Amino acid sequence: MENIEKSIREEVRKLLGDKSVDVIIGYEMGIIPLRSAPSFIYKIEDTDKLVWNSFCENNLARFTRNREDKIGVIAKGCDSRSLMVLLKEKQIKRENLKIIGVPCRGMIDRHRIEREFSLEGKEILETIEMGEEIILKGLGFERAIKKADYLFISCRLCRHRNPVIYDLLCGEMVAEREEIEDPLLRSFEAMSPDERWAYFLKEISRCIRCYACRDACPNCYCPECFVDATQPQWFGTSQNISDLQMYHIVRAFHQAGRCVDCGACSRACPMGINLRLLLQKLNLDVKNLFDYEAGLNLEEPAPLQAYKIDDSNEFFK
Amino acid sequence: MNLKIIEKAQIAQFVESIPAKKIAPVKEDGLITFREISSAEEIFWDFLNTRKSPKEFLFPQSERLFRYQRTDHGFEIGLDEIEAEKKALIGLHPCDIKSFLILDKLFDNERYQDNYYIEKRKNTLIIGLACNHPLNTCFCTSVDGGPFSSEGADILLTDLGDRYLMQIVSEKGKEFGSKFKDAQKSDIAEMENRKKQAISSIKTNINLNGLYKKLEEIFEEKIWETLSEKCLNCGACTYVCPTCHCFDIQDEIKADKGIRIRNWDSCMFNLFTKHGSGHNPRTKGFQRMRQRIMHKFSYYIRNFGVTACVGCGRCILNCPVNMDIRGVLNTLIKY
């Protein structure tokens, strides 16, 4: 970790020094334990603010759009896949982008840790990352946890930990995993439609419509989100459950064949809604129907954005 | 005497004797949240903070104001009965109680009285719980509050280990105290001790004196863009905040029938200030974050003489990009 951090800082110094980029989008120390935060570095002297640790949970591709300047961006596997999606969808310009790839060993699921401790009335005041463990300290307690046991589920299942596109690489490539079945998705698929619906309703009944899921997602870049449209207004803005349903269903459909399962939506949700599950179901459907995974290359057309004259589906002809 | 003692073994009985709908912190779906309880056993007394604030019990996220219907002889308006159910909010920390005093200034002032809010407020009994363990993100003492402040409560409980000290604060609270024995000097000393400890455990100290004027002066400065660069402009901070109170009025119409409804809104959203003409005075993210800070730490002081922040730290804990309002304020103070 320390070596990766050192190497990131070195590369950033070079990039800012020879003016190949105007800004670096990376991570800095978070203000509370278990967090790092997105950071924008414009000056060489600020480079040492940049960190690399197991809390770099944000997808930084989210910050690369709508910028005129030359950007250097730190990209884990998932961030790089999101950049690929944005490049494919012509939302960012490759020539304005320097991708600093960082092979990723997964990020820590702070929600799970916070949940476990807060439900016991405990506050974590300090974390120390040591090798494969993290030591959590608070008033009158100290507990070591194994990182591998506390990764975000999207990280535990991730098969693209190495950046799929990059200009330079910090850190050694990590071995990619074989496909692991998503236990949550599996039990979701095993449910009857009624059970699935009931599960979905229970999850979204906690939604407070803060739209953090949408706003953290690199793919959610519509100039006007469908829930914000007023002429005509498609949706009510109350807590009416049918409006909540529609928001989450339409958002999920809008991600079909585009979602890279970075987990940003679930991570951003203040109410702990398992937003990822619907998207994962759609990802799996897209994989089964079209043998396609989003954000792996620039050439392959996105299945729901392409048309083939010899499409195998009758209804399409 | 307004200081009583309740043994912990008596607390459930006390809670259940309150003749009102009882709302208290519970563990639910992995979160700590305020909701109606059916038994005092459900209450999680040792909570540090709740995910959402209790403001929704006075100012619901969605509230129907009235109904209407088109008929042959014009529109008929049906005013809903304003909800006036007796409620007891139990286990609120002093910061959350203070937020009601701040909301009162907006919803119940000389120029404007919001009956929907006032009716609920009038019918709500507030049983606070002194905050023995402020979190690292807490800064109530910087915004005229304190972890043991009884301001705004009807009753304030202090956990003394095996018993609660019960402070009867208001007239409303009086009727509940009579059954319990008076507190001894040693109980009061124990409470004072815990109070001192709690206050000294709050490490953040932000001097907001004069900031409201300065904010007006630096409104146009570049600093706002730097401060808000990572902000996603989602509404998480505003919706978990106990004092954020902006709302949007909507008509929901189906054929000849409609309702007018009031929903929480957030200054973080692009749509918030979008005019009917299509013009939007706050198209940029930094303008919206600036609005949030200005409203809490400048405009509200100009309008009502108080800061619209209670230092509960929920915005810090729940921000997807770890924005720290304390850091933002300190930067602005030093700027």
Measured CA distances, A175 to A32, A257, B171 (Å)? 31, 25, 68
Domain extent at residue B125: 2-334
Residue with tokens 């308006």: B77
Interface contact flag, B27 A119, Cβ < 8 Å:
yes
- What is the value of ipTM here, to two decimals? 0.95
B-chain residue closest to A270, CA distance: B318
Question: Best interface-test mutation with B: which of A238, A244, A274 has the largest number of B CBs within 10 A?
Answer: A238
Secondary structure (3-state) at B25 = strand
Q: How many helices (H) and strands (E) does chain A have?
A: 10, 8
Using CA atoms in the order B25, B31, B35, B39, what is the torsion angle rounded to 10 degrees? -60
Ranges in chain A, pLDDT < 50 = none
Q: What residues contact A20, with CB distance under 8 A and at least 6 apart?
A: A70, A72, A98
pLDDT at A317: 59
Decide: helix, strand or coil at residue A121. Answer: coil
- Copy the structure tokens of residue B74: 């014009």
CA A149, chain centre distance (Å): 19
Report how far Cα A118 is from the mean position of its chain's Cα atoms: 25
Q: Do A239 and B47 touch (CB under 8 A)?
A: no
Interface contacts A/B by beta carbons within 8 Å = 120
Close Cβ partners of A288 (under 8 Å, ≥ 6 residues apart): none
Of B229, B239, B322, Cβ closest to residue A35: B322
C-alpha A63 chain-centroid distance: 12
User: B187-218 as b/e, with b when 16 or more CB fall inside 10 Å?
Assistant: beebbeebbeebeebbebebebeebbeebeee
- Taking CB atoms and an 8 Å cutoff, what residues of chain B touch A223? none
Closest partner CB to B48 (pick from A123, A238, A268)? A123
Please indicate if any CB of chain B lies within 8 Å of the CB of A190: no
Q: Which of A161, A143, A65, A60 is nearest to A105 (CA)?
A: A161
Task: Answer whether B4's CB lies under 8 Å from B181's CB.
Answer: yes
Model confidence pLDDT, tens digit, residues B310-333: 999 999 999 999 999 999 999 999
Helix segments in A256-292, DSSP class H: 264-268, 276-290
Long-range contacts of A307-310 (CB under 8 A, 24+ apart): none
* Closest listed residue to residue B312, CA positions, set B151, B126, B93: B93
Strand positions, DSSP E, chain A: 23-29, 36-41, 71-75, 97-101, 124-130, 133-138, 141-146, 168-169
Chain A residues within 8 A of B239 when measuring between CB atoms: 208-210, 270
pLDDT on residue B276: 87
Asked if residue A301 has a cis previous peptide bond (ω within 30° of 0), the answer is no
Residue B299 has pLDDT above 90, yes or no: yes
Nearest CA to A38 among A53, A25, A21?
Answer: A25
Task: For residue range A95-148, list pLDDT tens digits in order.
Answer: 999 999 999 999 999 999 999 999 999 999 999 999 999 999 999 999 999 999
Q: What is the pLDDT of residues B158-204, one digit of tens each?
A: 999 999 999 999 999 999 988 899 999 999 999 999 999 999 999 99
- How many domains does one find in chain B? 1
Tell me, what's the pLDDT at B235?
98
Q: What is the pLDDT of residues B2-32, one digit of tens each?
A: 999 999 999 999 999 999 999 999 999 999 9
Read off φ and ψ for residue B182, nearest 5 degrees: -70, 150
Task: Tell me the two tokens of residue A187.
Answer: 């039990």
Q: Return the closest-CA partner of residue B156 out of B76, B212, B89, B58.
A: B89
What is the rounded distance in angstroms from the CA atom of residue B106 to the CA atom of residue B99?
Answer: 11
Residue A254 neighbours by CB under 8 Å, 6+ apart: A219, A220, A222, A226
In the predicted structure, residue B236 carries a pLDDT above the cut 90: yes
| Bridge partners (DSSP) listed for residue B168 | B155
On the question of pLDDT at B60 being above 80, the answer is: yes
Q: Kindly calculate the radius of gyration of chain B based on its CA atoms and give it in whole angstroms.
A: 22
Q: Measured between alpha carbons, how far is B36 from B39 in angstroms, rounded to an integer? A: 9
Q: Are B266 and A210 in contact (CB < 8 Å)?
A: yes
Min distance B172 CA to chain A CA atoms (Å): 30
Q: How far apart are CA A30 and CA B321, in angstroms?
A: 9
Q: Which residue is closest to B252 within chain A, CA to CA?
A: A236
Query: Taking Cα atoms as reference points, which of A115, A270, A213, A188 lies closest to residue B28?
Result: A115
What's the pTM? 0.95
Give the Cα separation of A78 and A152 in Å (integer). 13
Distances (CA, A) of A100 to A2, A256, B59, B62, B92: 16, 27, 47, 45, 47
List of chain A residues whose C-beta atoms are within 8 Å of the C-beta of residue B261: 236, 238
Confidence of residue B150 (pLDDT cuts 50, 70, 90): very high
Note the pLDDT of residue B40: 96
